[in-house]
Amino acid sequence: MTAGWSTLLPLIFMAVMGLALLAYVILDGYDLGVGLLLPLADDAHQDMMIASIGPFWDANETWLVLGVGVLLVAFPMAHGIVLQALYLPAALMLIGLILRGVAFDFRVKAPQQYKTFWNCAFFTGSLLASVSQGWMLGSYITGFDSHWLGLAFSLGIAATLPAAYVLLGAGWLIMKADGSLQELAVSSARRVLWPMGVALIAISAATPLVNPEVVAKWFNMPELFMLAPVPICCALAFFAIRHVLHNPRLVRAGYGWIVFAATVLIFVLAFLGLAYSIYPDIVIGRMTVWDAAVSTQALNVLFVGVVITLPAIVIYTIFMYRVFWGRATALSYGAFADHSAQAKEPP
């Protein structure tokens, strides 16, 4: 193995980890967003909202396992530092994800009188998970700074990420629902759009404050010029969302997907901006990807697996989305009208 390859390999895994986490944030982001919108809907709408994410959530959540898994297996030194520093918010997130995940089944399988409880657990779980994820992200960017500025910054992201998830979830529902549920999604998205936009600008402005190294990376010629498309595209995406949300005609004409797509674009751009800011560190200011990586030999073994399986995962994920394409329908485990009633034999 050449020295070049052993330098490149950790970067490849950093990219795989980053993309897995980005995929998680977008894919489970809409699940969590739908969960956050749950209390606004009535019973029939709640069933439909959950039906729209039911077939997907499990696979969506698996991207988190892959992201954290790559951190664990490719960068064990960093995994230890990051997750020990984020011990309590990570535990809180996990409890949130547990509550949300089991509520999918319990809310319809437990006796009817508990449905409200499990709907509440679904919402609470989604809220806990998204707030803790925001807090973890903020804390990570500040390098686990526990001064008031760092904490305020983390708190800001902890409040912003759920709002962004709500926008994603609403965008998802605009595509998957129609009628009054779609209207509910549009109005929720409208309400959360401006606070989220303002918060994003505030976070972008605050990032150099909490992490001075970022200033040098962004505010220099020619970097500033080269990077200008990132905020510009963000702004364009933002106003595209706003335009669609304020023109119900467009939604009815079938352009509702723009809300979801443009929100995803904002997530992708924010991710790229963040990746650029912290490269090549994996624990900001403390550890680079090369310091944290396991042996080249182990990464080679993993690399073979990634090259073979990741394309396969993408292909069958696309297949699954095609199967459940279009408006959501009520979920059922059977294709037929149920026959357990008439098939029951007299004892």
Question: What is the phi/psi pair of residue 288, to 5°?
Answer: -90, 170
State in angstroms the smallest separation of the CB of 125 from other proteins.
Answer: 9
Positions in 286-305 near other proteins (CB under 8 A): 294-295, 297-298, 301-302, 305
The answer to whether residue 224 forms part of the interface with other proteins (CB under 8 A) is: no
| Nearer Cβ to other proteins (194/316) | 316
φ and ψ of 230, to 5 deg? -60, -60
Q: Is 271 in the site for other proteins (CB under 8 A)?
A: no
Closest approach, Cβ 9 to other proteins, in A, equals: 13
Check residue 12 for interaction with other proteins (CB under 8 A). Answer: no
Instruction: Check: CB of residue 125 under 8 Å from CB of residue 193.
Output: no
Q: Which is nearer to other proteins, 84 or 247 (CB)?
A: 84
Cis, bond preceding 162 (omega within 30 deg of 0): no
Between CA 218 and CA 216 the distance in angstroms is 6
Q: At residue 38, what is the residue type?
A: L
Per-residue x/- marks for other proteins, 81-120, CB under 8 A? -xxx--xx-xx--xx-xxx-xx-xxx-xxxx---------
Size of the site for other proteins (CB under 8 A): 79
Contact with other proteins (CB under 8 A) among 148, 222, 226, 345: 345
Q: Is 317 in the site for other proteins (CB under 8 A)?
A: yes
Cβ atoms of residues 174 and 259 within 8 Å: yes
Q: Which stretch binds other proteins (CB under 8 A): 193-201, 231-239, 280-288, 315-323?
A: 315-323
**254 sits near other proteins (criterion: CB under 8 A):** no
Of 261 and 302, nearer to other proteins (C-beta) is 302
**Complex with other proteins: residue 73 or 250, whichever CB lies closer:** 73
Q: Which residues contact 224 (CB under 8 A, 6 or more apart)?
A: 218
Mapping DSSP onto H, E and C, the string for 313-330 reads HHHHHHHHHHHCCCCCCC
| Cα four-point dihedral sign 211, 13, 11, 16 | negative
| Contact of 81 with 65, CB cutoff 8 Å | no
